[in-house]
Amino acid sequence: MFIVILTAVLGLMHLYLWKRLIRDTTRPGLVRWVLTADLVICALLLVAVLMVPRTLGVTSLGWLAWPGYVWFGLAAYLFLASLALEPVRLLLRGWVRRGTAPVAEAAEPAAPVAPVAESAEAAEPSSPVNRRLFLARAGAAAAGAASVSLVGYGATRALGPPDVLAVPVRLRRLDPAFTGFRIAVVSDIHLGPLAGRRHTERIVETINGAEPDLVAIVGDLVDGSVAELGAAAEPLRDLASREGTFFVTGNHEYFVDEPAQWLTELDRLGVNVLRNENTPIRRGAAAFDLAGINDLAGESRSDPPNFDRALAGVGPSRPTVLLAHQPIMVSEAAARGVDLQLSGHTHGGQMWPFHYVVQLVQPSLAGLSTVDDTQLYVTRGAGFWGPPVRVGAPPDVTVLSLSPQG
């Protein structure tokens, strides 16, 4: 259903782009037909890149994914830039219509001029046709320049190394023995046709360089099967931390045919999967409880989130840290007395101004916030989905440094 809705939206978006960037900027003829055909090809390429990997696999389709997803980013910003120029078009509408009557009257007595005036290509510089074309072409050029610049900058950020963020967190009931305990939080790695083994290696190098005590991977690791992406995930075995690496599912883990195969593979790589369960993290006699809950998308695969199981037996005298892919689960976590929830899913919006849409459906876009008595930390993620572009939401690996509250 998501793909159907997205395809419909993309179709309407391309229709608008055709109107503003092709129909308004060209006269009827060969050039318009060629540009229209190019836009149709780009639209079909985008639909194909969204649909084909689900039937033909992921790893062999990089040749299709790169141009398709790059066009996705360009089309989104061309659409937004063209919309932003609509007020300018309205303001200049009078200028387009003004000043043509005197020219027509002056031209009437001169009979030899009439055949030239009949040609659209030879219209007077002050005619409405030429003014309209000038305005449309100037707008298209401005939208194109802005879009290419944003996508170029965003691709550099998305494909580069993630930022390392240091965030102090004070937890109630935390034993002083855990002062300075460091949790590396990473999410939304999104291994797939555009992000492979080198992407994983770069993230592992970043995390190991931070020397954390514990690594938390909070979902959306993969966009394909173990057979397709197992080799890309292998560097995860090199993650180094005193207490180990822990993982919870994201919604994308349930988009593959056999989600359980990934959980087995992660276990083979030394990554501890928390499936609605918890484990104590100890420092001598002191401890806090680390819990993990399945993503909401697990309901479609008979593997739903279960707070009762995830928090069963947690100690009331010590803090609980919950790994949950989607920030929206914090309401239930707060109702059950969780001290800190670590999430991803939002990508920080990934491409401005889509940040504002994400904020409508999630309690936090990124960073540390509080819901009732529960602290929520949302990482922007270390990868990307769809366009290899991040604007206003750089990728990150966050290192939380714990200390007692009060």
84: which residues sit within 8 A by CB, 6+ positions away? none
pLDDT at position 102: 42
Taking each helix axis from N to C terminus, what angle separates 128-159 and 62-84, rounded to the nearest 10 degrees?
A: 130
Residue 351 reports pLDDT greater than 50:
yes
Residue 124 reports pLDDT greater than 90:
no
191 bridge partner residues:
222
Residue 9 reports pLDDT greater than 50:
yes
Tell me the average pLDDT across 18-41. 95
Q: CA–CA separation, 397 vs 381, rounded Å?
A: 7
Q: Identify the helix (H) or strand (E) that includes residue 4.
A: helix 2-17
**With bands split at pLDDT 50, 70 and 90, how would you rate the model's confidence at 56?**
low
**With bands split at pLDDT 50, 70 and 90, how would you rate the model's confidence at 110?**
very low
168: which residues sit within 8 A by CB, 6+ positions away? 400, 401, 403
Tell me the average pLDDT across 25-29. 93
Contact assessment for residue 100 and residue 128, using Cβ atoms and an 8 Å cutoff: yes
Contact assessment for residue 194 and residue 390, using Cβ atoms and an 8 Å cutoff: no
DSSP 291: E
Helices (H), 52-127: 53-56, 62-84, 86-91, 93-97, 101-107, 114-117
Residue 111 reports pLDDT greater than 60:
no
Lowest mean pLDDT among 5-9, 268-272, 279-283: 5-9
Could you read off the pLDDT of 190-228 as tens digits, one per residue? 999 899 999 999 999 999 999 999 999 999 999 989 999
Contact assessment for residue 220 and residue 190, using Cβ atoms and an 8 Å cutoff: yes
Could you read off the pLDDT of 245-272 as tens digits, one per residue? 999 999 999 988 788 999 999 999 999 9
